[in-house]
């Protein structure tokens, strides 16, 4: 429940990254030794991922106060990622790589679609076939086996720089026989964090963060300690909250480099932004300038910030255009924003937004994680009360979002 119209102010600490920790938890399957993961975010998806690897043989302990996970996998005792988990959280598909690498076989449910798109996994599977895995389909599952019991290093070209496919193949290549190069790889910061963790385990990876990643397979890897990188999308979301309310906030525990495309667009919209090594201060303006935005793989403008910026542009002084090039149906938030008075025209993957002075509070529904975040942002700026329903979507990717916003002066509470 949000009563809008209050400019945010103060300082907020950013949590560590959901999209970095999920593949890193999966990578712990590669070794019998203990891995210690620090600065974990308290997110539903983290615990789902821990449940999944536990069902595959991992021992997982969490010290919530110290925000640490202790994971060791003496041996792989299960090889199946069941439909009920994969359909709930697509990242479950990321156990395919480590299972093939460590145990030579895996049975993983095909992730169904989700609100933002069909989200196929063909690039993951094509890559593993190139690494000498045999893939069989049946009853909504894929069964993968390394033909000789061990994946073989290979050159893999990704038709699209898929984040998940890059992560799955990267983890799988660590224990493969020989060298693998992943070309047209995704270069998101979360992939660099994963590669850093794998190299601490004794993997031999170069090029993470570029479009070509080279992995020299090793026979085994050992345990490692790793602190997860800050969540650039949570940071971008809170920066946009300051922008849409005309506030003035300082974010702590950020990597400004990871936010360059978001910062560039907020500056273009008229915000004032200053950066230090691990902090960003942003001052909003009464009404943002309109923007033209096209989402792209990193280092382009992130699709995970598209919904939040669409909410911001609903208040711009002019007409904005946002093109979503990554997912085919990532405009579920548009209908809900229209209920708050936003003037938005959709044409396929293009949204045209006529900015208006004020949004009105309304009862709206979160359809997916970032759409839910966008509705909170709109509620913070709207006149009157906004009630956002189905907020479990939001809890998947934002830790205590209402507490962080309350501390910044927002009138928001969880019912
Ligand atoms: C990751 O999803 C993120 N999730 C998503 O964040 C993010 O939106 C996405 O990357 C793009 O940046 C996690 O990291 C857990 P992709 P992923 O594979 O790996 C197509 C959030 O809000 N594709 O890069 O699933 C696919 O259909 C979530 O935190 C294929 O066609 O993204 C999509 O259109 C949402 N074949 C596009 O590529 C494949 O084999 C991007 O997918 C794989 C993907």
Determine the atom of ligand 1 nearest the C-alpha atom of 91: 15
Is 113 close to ligand 1, i.e. is its CB under 6 Å away? Answer: no
- List helix spans (H) across 272-348: 306-313, 332-338
Q: What is the pLDDT of residue 303?
A: 98
Task: Among 163, 172, 185, 187, say which to mutate for ligand 1: greatest number of ligand atoms within 8 Å of CB.
Answer: 163
CA distance 312 to 2: 17
Per-residue pLDDT tens digits for 281-334: 999 998 999 999 999 999 999 999 999 999 999 999 999 999 999 998 899 999
CA distance linking residue 208 with residue 204, whole number of Å: 11
Q: How far is it, in rounded angstroms, from Cα 254 to Cα 276?
A: 9
Q: Calculate the alpha carbon distances from 313 to 43, 163, 265, 281, 334 in Å.
A: 29, 27, 11, 21, 12
Q: Which of 274, 303, 269, 299 is nearest to 286 (CA)?
A: 269
Does the reported pTM lie above 0.95? yes
The one-character DSSP state at 230 is B
Measured between alpha carbons, how far is 305 from 207 in angstroms, rounded to an integer? 26
Q: What is the pLDDT of residue 363?
A: 98
Half-sphere exposure of residue 33: CA atoms within 13 angstroms, side-chain side = 12
Residue nearest to atom 3 of ligand 1 (CA): 19
The pLDDT value recorded for residue 285 is 93
Find out whether 152 and 79 touch, Cβ atoms under 8 Å. Answer: no
First CA to last CA across the chain, in angstroms? 7
Count Cβ atoms within 10 A of the Cβ of residue 136 and give its class: 0-12 exposed, 13-18 middle, 19 or more buried. Answer: exposed
- Report which ligand 1 atom has the smallest distance to the Cα of 116: 35
- What Cα–Cα distance (Å) separates residue 130 from each residue in 126, 151, 166, 172, 178? 6, 9, 14, 12, 13
Ligand 1 pocket member 121 (CB < 6 A): yes
Q: What is the DSSP letter of 318?
A: S
- Residue of the CA atom closest to atom 20 of ligand 1: 119
Query: Are the beta carbons of 21 and 228 closer than 8 angstroms?
Result: yes
Instruction: Judge whether 114 counts as a catalytic residue.
Output: yes
Q: In angstroms, what is the span from residue 91 Cα to ligand 1's centroid?
A: 9
Which pairs with CB-CB distance under 8 Å and at least 24 residues apart come from 387-391? 387/1, 387/2, 387/362, 387/363, 387/415, 388/2, 388/364, 389/363, 389/364, 389/365, 390/365, 390/366, 391/366
Question: Is any ligand 1 atom within 6 A of the Cβ of residue 19?
Answer: yes
CA distance 356 to 64: 44
Pocket test of ligand 1: the residue of 156, 326, 371, 399 to mutate, having most ligand atoms within 8 Å of its CB, is 326
Residues of the chain with pLDDT under 50: none
Is any atom of ligand 1 closer than 6 Å to the C-beta of 304? Answer: yes
Q: Beta partners for 16?
A: 230
Task: Identify the CA nearest to 56 among candidates 105, 17, 122.
Answer: 105
326 lines ligand 1 (CB under 6 A): yes
313: phi > 0 → left, psi -120 to 50 → alpha, else beta; which? alpha
How far does residue 41's CA lie from ligand 1's centre (Å)? Answer: 20
- Cα of 394 vs its chain's centroid, Å: 12
Selecting among 28, 50, 114, 179, the annotated active-site residue is 114
The CA radius of gyration of the chain, in Å to the nearest whole number, is 21
Q: How far apart are CA 39 and CA 68, in angstroms?
A: 6
3-state helix, strand, coil in the chain (%, to 5): 35, 25, 40
8 Å CB contact between 245 and 255: no
CA contacts within 13 A on the Cβ side of 199: 14
164 C-beta closer than 6 A to ligand 1:
yes
Q: Is the peptide bond before 291 cis (omega within 30 degrees of 0)?
A: no
**How many CB atoms within 10 Å of residue 89?**
19
Cβ of 42 less than 6 Å from ligand 1: no
User: How much is the pLDDT for 113?
Assistant: 66
Cα 177 to ligand 1 centroid, rounded to whole Å: 28
φ/ψ region of 120 (left if φ > 0, alpha if ψ in -120 to 50, else beta) reads beta
């Amino acid at each position: 429940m949000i009563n809008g119209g209050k400019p945010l102010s103060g300082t907020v600490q950013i949590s560590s990254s959901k999209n970095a920790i999920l593949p890193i938890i999966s990578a712990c399957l590669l070794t019998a030794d203990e891995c210690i993961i620090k600065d974990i975010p308290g997110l539903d998806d983290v615990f789902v991922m821990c449940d999944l690897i536990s069902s595959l043989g991992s021992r997982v302990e969490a010290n919530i106060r110290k925000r640490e996970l202790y994971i060791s996998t003496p041996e792989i005792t299960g090889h199946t990622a069941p439909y009920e988990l994969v359909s709930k959280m697509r990242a479950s598909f990321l156990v395919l790589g480590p299972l093939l690498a460590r145990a030579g076989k895996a049975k993983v449910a095909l992730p169904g679609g989700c609100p933002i798109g069909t989200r196929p996994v063909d690039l993951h599977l094509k890559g593993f076939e190139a690494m000498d895995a045999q893939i069989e389909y049946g009853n909504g599952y894929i069964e993968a086996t390394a033909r000789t019991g061990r994946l073989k290093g290979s050159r893999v070209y990704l038709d699209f720089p898929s984040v998940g496919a890059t992560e799955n193949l990267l983890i799988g290549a660590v224990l493969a026989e020989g060298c693998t190069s992943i070309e047209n790889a995704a270069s998101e910061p979360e992939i660099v964090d994963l590669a850093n963790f794998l190299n601490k385990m004794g993997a031999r990876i170069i090029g993470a963060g570029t479009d070509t990643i080279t992995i020299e397979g090793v026979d085994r890897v050992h345990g490692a300690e790793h602190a997860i990188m800050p969540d650039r999308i949570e940071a971008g979301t809170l920066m946009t909250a300051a922008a849409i309310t005309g506030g003035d906030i300082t974010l702590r525990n950020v990597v400004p480099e990871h936010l360059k495309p978001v910062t560039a667009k907020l500056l273009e919209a008229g915000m004032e932004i200053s950066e230090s090594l691990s902090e960003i201060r942003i001052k909003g303006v009464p009404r943002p300038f309109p923007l033209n935005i096209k989402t792209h793989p990193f280092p382009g403008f992130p699709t995970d910030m598209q919904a939040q910026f669409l909410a911001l542009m609903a208040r711009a002084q002019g007409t904005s255009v946002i093109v979503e090039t990554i997912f085919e149906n990532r405009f579920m938030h548009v209908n809900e924003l229209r209920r708050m008075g936003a003037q938005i025209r959709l044409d396929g993957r293009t949204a045209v937004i006529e900015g208006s002075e004020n949004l009105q509070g309304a009862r709206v529904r979160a359809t997916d994680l970032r759409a839910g975040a966008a509705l909170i942002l709109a509620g913070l700026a709207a006149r009157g009360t906004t009630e956002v329903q189905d907020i479990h979507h939001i809890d998947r990717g934002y830790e205590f979002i209402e507490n962080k916003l309350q501390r910044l002066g927002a009138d928001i509470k969880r019912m």
